[in-house]
């Protein structure tokens, strides 16, 4: 089948373990775009965290952000999807988070809010891999109440980073009673989104909007928050460093993120 679209996760997928796009993968992306293929980032990151990468690829028209809650037509400067958590539901999620030992990040539109006191504790919560990213893009506040008072009406996603697996399991039970979708981005993490929101549904929405059959799409990912997208695509691809669940759901497995797995798929399947 001639594939027309490639949706690629960022962290652990198109970005290597040093959070960069290698020369081979960069070259492959540019070749695919020049050939008229749609190539896009499909990520849990907020738009501000994605924008520096989009600037590298002026021909990249679409971006799927916040785990599918927001889909942008970059070229037209318009939003194709914008799913939000209600203020009441946001409060319920935060109440559940308070019952476990967890760091909370609130994603509202272009912004992400983290309590200032949690910055030195990111390693404790297992999310120090994102510390540099948060330092570039996050707004550090004294309390999350400041964020809610400012942006409570446009919260798209809440991330919980739990200290232990037991805390993560307890949080899962608490969140399980709420009308939300929970996905896992890294160990002991929940990405909490409005019910029905996922990268997989985001891929379907985008394909419908631009007239590309989802069967003609490729999706590449590595973590639990990529699982729905890998299952939805015409060709689901797991990175070599992917979780066992993603590998089991994928149609094929490529090289890991430090050995140009995305480039391999572009070269052999998209082009």
The pLDDT of residue 159: 97
8 Å CB contact between 246 and 227: yes
Q: What is the pLDDT of residue 234?
A: 98
Between CA 222 and CA 236 the distance in angstroms is: 11
- Predicted confidence at residue 69, as pLDDT, reads 96
Residue ranges per structural domain of the chain: 5-82+197-270, 87-194
User: How is residue 109 written in tokens?
Assistant: 């539109």
- What pLDDT tens digit does each residue of the chain (271 aa) get? 799 999 999 999 999 999 999 999 999 999 999 999 999 999 999 998 999 999 999 999 999 999 999 999 998 989 999 999 999 999 999 999 999 999 999 999 889 999 999 999 999 999 999 999 999 999 999 999 999 998 878 999 999 999 999 999 999 999 999 999 999 989 999 999 999 999 999 999 999 999 999 999 999 999 999 999 999 999 999 999 999 999 999 999 999 999 999 999 999 999 9
- Whether 5-82+197-270 shares its CATH topology with 87-194 is answered no
Structure tokens at 141: 């506040």
- Compute the Cα dihedral for 238, 240, 246, 251 and give only its sign: positive
CATH number for region 5-82+197-270: 3.40.50.1000
pTM, two decimals, is 0.92
**Per CATH, domain 87-194 is 3.30.1240.10:** yes
Q: Which residues contact 46 (CB under 8 A, 6 or more apart)?
A: 65, 66, 107, 109, 110, 111, 112, 137, 156
């Amino acid at each position: 089948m001639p594939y027309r679209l490639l949706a690629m996760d960022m962290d652990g997928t198109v970005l290597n373990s040093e959070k960069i796009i290698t020369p081979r993968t960069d070259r492959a992306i540019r070749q695919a775009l020049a050939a008229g293929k749609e190539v896009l980032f499909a990520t849990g990151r907020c738009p501000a965290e994605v924008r520096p990468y989009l600037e590298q690829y002026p021909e990249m028209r679409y971006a799927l952000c916040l785990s599918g809650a927001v889909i942008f037509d970059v070229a037209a400067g318009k939003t194709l999807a914008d799913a939000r958590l209600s203020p009441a539901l946001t409060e319920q999620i935060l109440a559940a988070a308070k019952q476990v030992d967890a760091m909370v990040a609130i994603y509202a539109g272009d912004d992400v809010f983290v309590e200032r006191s949690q910055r030195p504790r990111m390693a404790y919560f297992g999310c120090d891999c994102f510390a540099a990213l948060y330092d570039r893009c996050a707004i550090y506040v004294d309390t999350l109440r400041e964020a809610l008072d400012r942006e409570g009406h446009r919260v798209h996603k809440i991330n919980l980073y739990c200290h232990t697996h037991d805390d993560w399991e307890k949080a899962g039970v608490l969140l399980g009673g709420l009308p939300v979708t929970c996905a896992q981005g890294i160990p002991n993490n929940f990405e909490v989104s409005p019910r029905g929101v996922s990268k997989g549904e985001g891929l379907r929405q985008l394909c419908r909007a631009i007239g590309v059959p989802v069967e003609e799409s490729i999706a590449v990912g590595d973590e639990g928050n990529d699982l729905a997208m890998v299952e939805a695509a015409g060709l689901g691809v797991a990175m070599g460093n992917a979780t066992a669940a993603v590998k089991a759901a994928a149609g094929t497995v490529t090289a890991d993120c430090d050995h140009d797995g995305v480039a391999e798929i572009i070269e052999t399947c998209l082009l």
